[in-house]
Amino acid sequence: MPTHIIAVANQKGGVGKTTTTVNLAACLAAQGRRVLLVDIDPQANATSGVGLEKREGASAYRPLLGEGMLAEKIQHTAFERLDVISGEVDLCGLEVELARAENHLQRLRLALDPIRATGNYDVILLDNPPSLGILTLNAFVAADWVIVPLQCEYYALEGISMANRILGQLRDGGVNPRLALLGVVMTMFDRRTRLAVQVVEEVRQHFGELVFETYIPRNSRLAEAPSHGKPIIHYDKYSKGAAAYDVLAQEVATRLKLPNSGA
């Protein structure tokens, strides 16, 4: 089976991007998939969200500058089948340093190629900064798929229109012709509010079946989990947030045509 690389991205902050990356990775792993989470956000919240410390020198920073192999940065987590390449604040410097480098948009793809070639992972998930800078563009060039989390609020569509345009430019310009939108996931959904329902309807009008059937609810347990260094399925597996991400992971596996796992 091929390794699928998925970038989870939205240039708008506060939309549940890292929450989605961490919990999707954990649920896919719990369902029996072998998952690598790569944190290329300098805030490194995905790293702490799976219980790892943000350590200097543990990130993709040096390998993306051509110093060492990215595979050497892989760390195991406390959760079976879930590995991580952590983030760190030094990644901020890449926005400037890579801009002057040769093949500056292909650095992450080239660094991930040997990991992908091993076949050790079914899915590699890339958590990105809340911007469309060089790090996120590297993720788009490395990825096969993009998942865009959208908060159920008035400005939701603004977050996806620019990302969608850039995906088209990278694909049509030949930089990454295989890149495609795997889906849009609606986050922070509260069915009691008329606005949330209206936003979902509007997004569905634009993207149709690309919108995942699963909506991620506003959920206090989901908000608490990162402070305990655990994905929601390991923090409170009976919460609404855990149930939602578990079903979302099944949807993602179906869209990727992953074989049924043994878990």
* pLDDT of 250: 98
In terms of average pLDDT, the best of 89-93, 97-101, 216-220, 229-233 is: 229-233
Range of the domain at 78: 4-253
Q: Is residue 261 part of a domain?
A: no
Q: 16-59, pLDDT tens digit by residue?
A: 999 999 999 999 999 999 999 999 999 999 999 999 999 999 99
Q: What is the CATH number of the domain that holds 165?
A: 3.40.50.300
Angle, alpha carbons 108-3-231 (nearest 5°): 80
Q: Is residue 258 part of a domain?
A: no
pLDDT bucket at 263, cuts 50 / 70 / 90: low
Please identify which residue in the block is written with the tokens 């694909």: 171
Rounded distance between C-alpha atoms, residue 96 and residue 100, angstroms: 7
Q: Is residue 194 part of a domain?
A: yes
Q: 211-229, pLDDT tens digit by residue?
A: 999 999 999 999 999 999 9
* pLDDT of 73: 98
Q: 136-149, pLDDT tens digit by residue?
A: 999 999 999 999 99
Please give the structure tokens belonging to residue 27.
Answer: 């649920």
Please give the model's pTM, rounded to 2 decimal places.
Answer: 0.95
Rounded distance between C-alpha atoms, residue 217 and residue 200, angstroms: 13
* pLDDT of 42: 95
Kindly report the backbone phi and psi dihedral angles of residue 242, in degrees, each rounded to the nearest multiple of 5, phi listed first.
-65, -45
Please give the structure tokens belonging to residue 99.
Answer: 């801009």
**Per the structure, how many domains does the chain have?**
1
pLDDT above 60: residue 262: no
Rounded distance between C-alpha atoms, residue 23 and residue 4, angstroms: 17
Rounded distance between C-alpha atoms, residue 157 and residue 155, angstroms: 6
Rounded distance between C-alpha atoms, residue 124 and residue 84, angstroms: 10
